[in-house]
Amino acid sequence: MVHITSNQLFRRQRTKVGAQPGAIAAREDAIPTRIRLIRFDAAGFEERDAEPCEDFRSLVEEGHTLWIDVRGLADTDSIKDIGTAFGLSSLTIADLVNVGQRPKCEDLENALLIIARMVTMDDTHGLCWEQVSMAVGEGFLLTFQETTEDCFEPIRERIRKGNSLIRGNKSDLLGVLLLDAIVDGYFPVIENFGDKLETIETEVLNSPRSALLSDIYRIKRELGLFRRAAWPLRDALSRSMTDQTEILSPSTQPYLHDVRDHIIQVVDVLESYRELASSLIDVYLSSVSNRTNEVMRVLTIIATIFIPLGFLAGVYGMNFDTSKPGNLPELGWRYGYMFFWVAAVTIVFGLLGMFWKLGWLGGSDRGRDRK
Amino acid sequence: MVHITSNQLFRRQRTKVGAQPGAIAAREDAIPTRIRLIRFDAAGFEERDAEPCEDFRSLVEEGHTLWIDVRGLADTDSIKDIGTAFGLSSLTIADLVNVGQRPKCEDLENALLIIARMVTMDDTHGLCWEQVSMAVGEGFLLTFQETTEDCFEPIRERIRKGNSLIRGNKSDLLGVLLLDAIVDGYFPVIENFGDKLETIETEVLNSPRSALLSDIYRIKRELGLFRRAAWPLRDALSRSMTDQTEILSPSTQPYLHDVRDHIIQVVDVLESYRELASSLIDVYLSSVSNRTNEVMRVLTIIATIFIPLGFLAGVYGMNFDTSKPGNLPELGWRYGYMFFWVAAVTIVFGLLGMFWKLGWLGGSDRGRDRK
Amino acid sequence: MVHITSNQLFRRQRTKVGAQPGAIAAREDAIPTRIRLIRFDAAGFEERDAEPCEDFRSLVEEGHTLWIDVRGLADTDSIKDIGTAFGLSSLTIADLVNVGQRPKCEDLENALLIIARMVTMDDTHGLCWEQVSMAVGEGFLLTFQETTEDCFEPIRERIRKGNSLIRGNKSDLLGVLLLDAIVDGYFPVIENFGDKLETIETEVLNSPRSALLSDIYRIKRELGLFRRAAWPLRDALSRSMTDQTEILSPSTQPYLHDVRDHIIQVVDVLESYRELASSLIDVYLSSVSNRTNEVMRVLTIIATIFIPLGFLAGVYGMNFDTSKPGNLPELGWRYGYMFFWVAAVTIVFGLLGMFWKLGWLGGSDRGRDRK
Amino acid sequence: MVHITSNQLFRRQRTKVGAQPGAIAAREDAIPTRIRLIRFDAAGFEERDAEPCEDFRSLVEEGHTLWIDVRGLADTDSIKDIGTAFGLSSLTIADLVNVGQRPKCEDLENALLIIARMVTMDDTHGLCWEQVSMAVGEGFLLTFQETTEDCFEPIRERIRKGNSLIRGNKSDLLGVLLLDAIVDGYFPVIENFGDKLETIETEVLNSPRSALLSDIYRIKRELGLFRRAAWPLRDALSRSMTDQTEILSPSTQPYLHDVRDHIIQVVDVLESYRELASSLIDVYLSSVSNRTNEVMRVLTIIATIFIPLGFLAGVYGMNFDTSKPGNLPELGWRYGYMFFWVAAVTIVFGLLGMFWKLGWLGGSDRGRDRK
Amino acid sequence: MVHITSNQLFRRQRTKVGAQPGAIAAREDAIPTRIRLIRFDAAGFEERDAEPCEDFRSLVEEGHTLWIDVRGLADTDSIKDIGTAFGLSSLTIADLVNVGQRPKCEDLENALLIIARMVTMDDTHGLCWEQVSMAVGEGFLLTFQETTEDCFEPIRERIRKGNSLIRGNKSDLLGVLLLDAIVDGYFPVIENFGDKLETIETEVLNSPRSALLSDIYRIKRELGLFRRAAWPLRDALSRSMTDQTEILSPSTQPYLHDVRDHIIQVVDVLESYRELASSLIDVYLSSVSNRTNEVMRVLTIIATIFIPLGFLAGVYGMNFDTSKPGNLPELGWRYGYMFFWVAAVTIVFGLLGMFWKLGWLGGSDRGRDRK
Q: C313 vs chain B: nearest CA distance in angstroms?
A: 5
Q: Are the C-beta atoms of E171 and E139 separated by less than 8 Å? A: yes
E360 touches chain A (CB under 8 A): yes
Q: Which residue of C has its CA nearest to B305?
A: C302
D291 touches chain C (CB under 8 A): yes
Integer-rounded Cα radius of gyration of chain C = 35
CATH architecture type of domain A1-164 = 2-Layer Sandwich (3.30)
Chain B: touching chains (3 or more CB pairs < 8 Å) = A, C
A289 touches chain B (CB under 8 A): yes
A-E Cβ pairs (cutoff 8 Å, strict)? 187
Q: Which residue of C has its CA nearest to D17?
A: C184
pLDDT grade, residue A6 (50/70/90)? Answer: very low
pLDDT grade, residue A362 (50/70/90)? Answer: low
What is the DSSP code (8-state) at residue B42?
Answer: S
Q: Helices marked H in chain B — which ranges?
A: 76-85, 90-97, 153-160, 164-167, 171-184, 186-206, 211-242, 253-316, 336-358, 365-370
Q: Which residue of B has its CA nearest to A297?
A: B295
Q: Give yes or no for residue A134 having a pLDDT over 90.
A: yes
Q: Which residues of chain E have pLDDT under 70?
A: 1-18, 125, 244, 362-371
Q: B87 vs chain C: nearest CA distance in angstroms?
A: 30
Q: What is the mean pLDDT of residues C161-184?
A: 90
pLDDT digits (tens, 9 = 90+) for A299-353: 888 888 888 888 888 888 888 777 777 777 777 777 888 888 888 899 899 988 9
For D86-125, give one letter per residue: b (16+ CB within 10 A) or e: bebbbbbbbbbbbbbbbbbbbbbeebbbbbbbbbbeeeee
CA distance E53 to A210: 70
Beta-carbon separation of B313 and A308 below 8 A? no
Chain A: touching chains (3 or more CB pairs < 8 Å) = B, E
Instruction: Name which of A23-27, B66-70, D77-81, D113-117 the model is least confident about.
Output: A23-27
- Tell me, what amino acid is at A228? R
Integer-rounded Cα radius of gyration of chain D = 35
E296 touches chain D (CB under 8 A): yes
Bridge partners (DSSP) of residue A50 are A35
CA distance A224 to A213: 16
D164 touches chain E (CB under 8 A): no
CATH architecture type of domain B1-166 = 2-Layer Sandwich (3.30)
Return all residues near B112 (Cβ < 8 A) that are at least 6 apart. B105, B106, B135, B136, B137, B172, B175, B240, B245, B247, B248
Q: D116 vs chain C: nearest CA distance in angstroms?
A: 14
User: In CATH, what class is A295-370?
Assistant: mainly alpha
Q: Are the C-beta atoms of B70 and B88 separated by less than 8 Å? A: no
Residue of B159, B147, B103 lying closest to B4 (CA atoms): B147
Q: Which residue of D has its CA nearest to E278?
A: D279
- Tell me, what amino acid is at B18? G
Question: Can you identify the CATH homologous superfamily of domain C1-161?
Answer: CorA soluble domain-like (3.30.460.20)
Other residues' Cβ atoms within 10 Å of the Cβ of residue D200: 20
What is the end-to-end Cα distance of chain A in Å, rounded? Answer: 54
Q: B162 vs chain C: nearest CA distance in angstroms?
A: 13
A-B Cβ pairs (cutoff 8 Å, strict)? 184
Beta-carbon separation of D311 and E309 below 8 A? yes
CA dihedral A340, A344, A346, A350 (to 10 degrees): 160
D250 touches chain E (CB under 8 A): no
What is the end-to-end Cα distance of chain E in Å, rounded? Answer: 54
Q: Which residue of E has its CA nearest to A104?
A: E261
Per-residue model confidence (pLDDT) at position D367: 37
Q: Give yes or no for residue D363 having a pLDDT over 70.
A: no
A347 touches chain B (CB under 8 A): no
Residue D34: helix, strand or coil by DSSP?
A: strand
Closest partner residue to A326 (CB to CB) among B292, B309, B335 is: B335
The region that residue D359 occupies, defined by phi over 0 for left and psi between -120 and 50 for alpha, beta otherwise, is left
Per-residue model confidence (pLDDT) at position D288: 82
Bridge partners (DSSP) of residue A145 are A71, A132
Sheet with D65-71, side-by-side order of all strands: D45-50, D34-40, D65-71, D140-145, D126-137, D111-122, D104-107
User: In CATH, what class is D6-285?
Assistant: alpha beta
Q: Which residue of D has its CA nearest to C270?
A: D10
E343 touches chain D (CB under 8 A): no
For chain D positions 8-47, those within 8 Å of chain C (CB to CB) are 10-12, 14-22
Maximum alpha-carbon separation in chain E: 125
Per-residue model confidence (pLDDT) at position C365: 43
| Extents of the domains making up chain A | 1-164, 295-370
CA distance B11 to A197: 13
Beta-carbon separation of D288 and C283 below 8 A? no
Return all residues near D350 (Cβ < 8 A) that are at least 6 apart. none
The sign of the CA dihedral A286, A292, A298, A301 is: negative
CA distance A276 to B9: 14
Stretch (H or E) spanning D294 = helix D253-315
CA distance A64 to A42: 8
Per-residue model confidence (pLDDT) at position D141: 94
Chain C positions in Cβ-Cβ contact with residue B185 (cut-off 8 Å): 17-18
What is the end-to-end Cα distance of chain D in Å, rounded? Answer: 54
CA distance A179 to A143: 11
**C-alpha angle with apex B196: B192 to B200, nearest 5 degrees?**
170
Chain E positions in Cβ-Cβ contact with residue A289 (cut-off 8 Å): 289
Contacts 24+ apart (CB under 8 A), A330-333: A330/E320, A331/E318, A331/E319, A331/E320, A331/E321, A332/E321, A332/E324, A333/E321, A333/E324, A333/E327
ipTM: 0.81
The region that residue E18 occupies, defined by phi over 0 for left and psi between -120 and 50 for alpha, beta otherwise, is left
CATH of B294-370, one of 2.60.40, 3.30.70, 1.20.58, 1.25.40: 1.20.58
E349 touches chain D (CB under 8 A): no
Q: Please, how many CA atoms are within 13 Å of residue E131, restricted to the half-sphere of its CB?
A: 27
B333 touches chain C (CB under 8 A): no
Best of C284, C296, C299, C322 to disrupt the B interface (most B CBs within 10 Å) is C299
B183 touches chain C (CB under 8 A): no
Residue of D100, D94, D87, D107 lying closest to D20 (CA atoms): D94
CA distance B115 to B110: 16
CA distance C310 to C303: 10
Q: Are the C-beta atoms of D216 and D280 separated by less than 8 Å? A: yes
For B255-277, give one letter per residue: b (16+ CB within 10 A) or e: bbbbbbbbbbbbbbbbbbbbebb
Q: Which residue spans within chain A are E strands per DSSP?
A: 34-40, 45-50, 65-71, 104-107, 111-122, 126-137, 140-145
Chain D positions in Cβ-Cβ contact with residue E228 (cut-off 8 Å): 268, 272
CA distance A30 to A74: 5
pLDDT grade, residue C70 (50/70/90)? Answer: very high
Stretch (H or E) spanning A85 = helix A76-85
Per-residue model confidence (pLDDT) at position A363: 44
**What secondary structure, in 3-state letters, does C125-174 show?**
CEEEEEEEEEEEECCEEEEEECCCCCCCHHHHHHHHCCCHHHHCCCHHHH
For A17-56, give one letter per residue: b (16+ CB within 10 A) or e: ebbbbbebbbbeebbebbbbbbbbeeeebeeeebeeebeb
Chain C: touching chains (3 or more CB pairs < 8 Å) = B, D
pLDDT digits (tens, 9 = 90+) for D284-332: 888 888 888 888 888 888 888 888 888 888 888 888 777 777 777 777 7
Task: Name the phi and psi angles at A38, rounded to 5.
Answer: -125, 130
Q: Which residue of A has its CA nearest to B305?
A: A308
Q: Give yes or no for residue A259 having a pLDDT over 50.
A: yes
Beta-carbon separation of B285 and C285 below 8 A? yes
Count each helix (H run) and each strand (E run) in chain A, helices first. Answer: 10, 7
Beta-carbon separation of C328 and D337 below 8 A? yes
Chain D positions in Cβ-Cβ contact with residue C359 (cut-off 8 Å): 207
pLDDT digits (tens, 9 = 90+) for A45-68: 899 999 888 888 888 888 899 999
Beta-carbon separation of B317 and C319 below 8 A? no
The percentage of residues in chain D with a pLDDT greater than 70, rounded to a whole number, is 92
Q: Are the C-beta atoms of D176 and D241 separated by less than 8 Å? A: no
Residue of E26, E188, E34 lying closest to E119 (CA atoms): E188
CA distance A296 to E297: 8
CA distance B180 to D188: 58
What is the DSSP code (8-state) at residue A364?
Answer: S
Instruction: Name which of C122-131, D133-142, E169-178, E361-370 the model is least confident about.
Output: E361-370
Q: Give yes or no for residue D370 having a pLDDT over 60.
A: no
Q: Which residues of chain B have pLDDT under 70?
A: 1-18, 125, 244, 362-371
Instruction: Name which of A305-309, D23-27, D313-317, D353-357 the model is least confident about.
Output: D23-27
Angle between helices B153-160 and B171-184 (to 10 degrees): 140
E186 touches chain A (CB under 8 A): no
C292 touches chain B (CB under 8 A): yes
Q: What is the mean pLDDT of residues C24-38?
A: 86
A5 touches chain E (CB under 8 A): no
The region that residue C65 occupies, defined by phi over 0 for left and psi between -120 and 50 for alpha, beta otherwise, is beta
CA distance E306 to D307: 6
C251 touches chain D (CB under 8 A): no
Per-residue model confidence (pLDDT) at position E176: 93
For chain A positions 201-240, those within 8 Å of chain E (CB to CB) are 207, 209-211, 213-214, 217, 220-221, 224-225, 228, 232
Residue of C63, C66, C75 lying closest to C48 (CA atoms): C66
Residue-wise DSSP of C23-66 = -----TTPPPPEEEEEEE-SS-EEEEEE-TTS-GGGG--TT-EE
Q: What is the mean pLDDT of residues C25-44?
A: 87
Per-residue model confidence (pLDDT) at position C364: 41
- Tell me, what amino acid is at A203? E
Residue of E1, E3, E5, E66 lying closest to E36 (CA atoms): E66
E267 touches chain A (CB under 8 A): no
Beta-carbon separation of A18 and E155 below 8 A? yes
Closest partner residue to B306 (CB to CB) among A180, A268, A308 is: A308
